[in-house]
Every structure is written in C-alpha cells, then in structure tokens.
C-alpha cells in the first residue's frame, strides 16, 4: 500500500500533533492512516505502509483501542484482525476529550483536593498560598462541571453555540442569573 506525498504529509503531521495530545507519534500515525483509509486494514498493511515494526503496530493498535478510537473488524476469508477507525470527527473529538479528562484531569482534581485539605493544617503553608491552591481547585472544578454539562449536547447544538460566538456573552448577561425562560 503506497501513500501519496500529500497523505504522507497529513499522516506525519497528525503524528506530530498526537505527541502533543497524549499519544506517541506512531500511535497517532496509525490512527491517521486508519481514519483516512476507506477500508479495514490489517497489521501487516500498516507495517508496510508506515514502515514500522510489527510488534510496535500491535502495541499501538492496542493503545488506540483503549482510547476507543479504533475497533477490530474481521474480514471474510482472512483470519487476521482488521481495524477501522471511528469516522465521525465530532465523535473522535468527544472521545479524546473524555479520555484525557479521565486520564489526566480527574487525577489532578483528586490531588488538588487532597492538597487543599492537607494545606488547611500545614503551618508551613502561608495563608496566601492556601488561597491560591483553592483558586486553582475551584477553577478546575468549575471547568469540569461545565464540561460535564456540555458533553452531552448533540453536535448540532454545539455547532450552534460555536457559531453564535460573542452573541453568547450577551445571552449569558441576559439570562445567566434568571430562572429558565420558556
């Protein structure tokens, strides 16, 4: 399986981006390849196309599955596992966001809470420092609860919100402190 220069460029870049977003380059490149492919690919296809060792492909596929970004799809007449990537961009975004929250922000929230509690009884920590710890904690809690509310919105609604742009700020001013308007 050959890649055109444009596809190579795309996949290489996706790989670079992936390292910034929590997975290694090879994992991200495999994800890109499976996303762009219009049919299920097996591990050997991937090895050949990307020039990566079979075992590395195997481990990377396992990681992508743990993120829920790809799944196994068997092909009639071929006993090898084939893989397909999620094709809906919104869903991909949702999954990555959710998974990163779970792997990173949730543990951070725990640590920040523990530290806030411990700091209450730690005479070595100045009051001003304690306040700052509390502010970071409140900020993260607010962000996460806001995210929790938003994550269930259908893409179409999110789309509308994004397109409303700064008009949203005006609406918040009008409605933010009122009971529901129906």
Partner DNA sequence: TTTTAATTTCTGTAAAGACAGAAATTAAGG
Partner DNA sequence: CCTTAATTTCTGTCTTTACAGAAATTAAAA
What residues make contact with a second copy under the rule CB under 8 A? 2, 4-7, 9-10, 13, 17, 20, 22, 35-38, 87, 89-90, 93, 104, 108, 111-112, 114-115, 118-119, 122, 124-126, 128-129, 132-133, 135-136, 139, 142-143, 145-146, 148-150, 152-153, 157, 159-173, 175-177, 180
Nearer to a second copy by Cβ, of 78 and 118: the residue is 118
User: Phi, psi at residue 79, to the nearest 5°?
Assistant: -80, -5
Residue among 101, 109, 90 nearest 22 (CA): 101
For residue 41, the 8-state DSSP code is E
CB of 79 to a second copy, least distance (A): 27
How far, in Å, CA of 133 to CA of 91, rounded? 34
Give how far Cα 117 sits from Cα of 44, 134, 135, 136, Å.
Answer: 52, 10, 13, 14
CB of 147 to a second copy, least distance (A): 9
Sheet containing 70-72: give its strands across: 41-42, 82-85, 70-72
CB of 31 to a second copy, least distance (A): 12
Q: Which residue has the tokens 């999110």?
A: 158
Show the binding pattern over residues 52-91: x = contacts DNA (CB under 7 A), - = does not.
Answer: xxxxx-xxxxx---------------xxxx----------
| Residue 48 is a binding residue for DNA (CB under 7 A) | no
Among DNA, a second copy, none, what binds residue 51 when CB lies within 5 to 8 Å by partner kind? DNA
Nearer to DNA by Cβ, of 9 and 74: the residue is 74
Given a contact cutoff of 8 angstroms between Cβ atoms, the answer to whether 10 and 32 are in contact is yes
CB of 72 to DNA, least distance (A): 8
Using alpha carbons only, give the angle 11, 90, 14 rounded to the nearest 5 degrees. 15
Contact residues for DNA, defined by CB under 7 A: 19, 24-27, 42-44, 51-56, 58-62, 78-81
């Amino acid at each position: 399986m050959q890649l055109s220069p444009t596809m190579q460029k795309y996949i290489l870049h996706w790989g670079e981006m992936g390292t910034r977003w929590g997975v290694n380059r090879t994992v991200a490149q495999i994800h890109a390849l499976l996303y762009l492919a219009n049919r299920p690919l097996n591990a050997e296809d991937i090895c050949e196309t990307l020039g990566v060792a079979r075992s590395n492909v195997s481990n990377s596929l396992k990681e992508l599955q743990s993120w829920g970004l790809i799944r196994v799809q068997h092909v009639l007449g071929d006993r090898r596992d084939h893989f397909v990537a999620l094709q809906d961009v919104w869903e991909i975004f949702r999954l990555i966001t959710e998974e990163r929250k779970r792997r990173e922000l949730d543990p951070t929230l725990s640590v920040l809470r523990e530290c806030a509690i411990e700091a209450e009884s730690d005479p070595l920590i100045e009051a001003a420092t304690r306040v700052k710890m509390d502010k970071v904690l409140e900020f993260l809690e607010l962000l996460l609860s806001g995210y929790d509310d938003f994550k269930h919105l259908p893409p179409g609604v999110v789309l509308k919100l994004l397109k409303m742009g700064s008009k949203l700020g005006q609406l918040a001013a009008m409605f933010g402190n009122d009971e529901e308007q129906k």
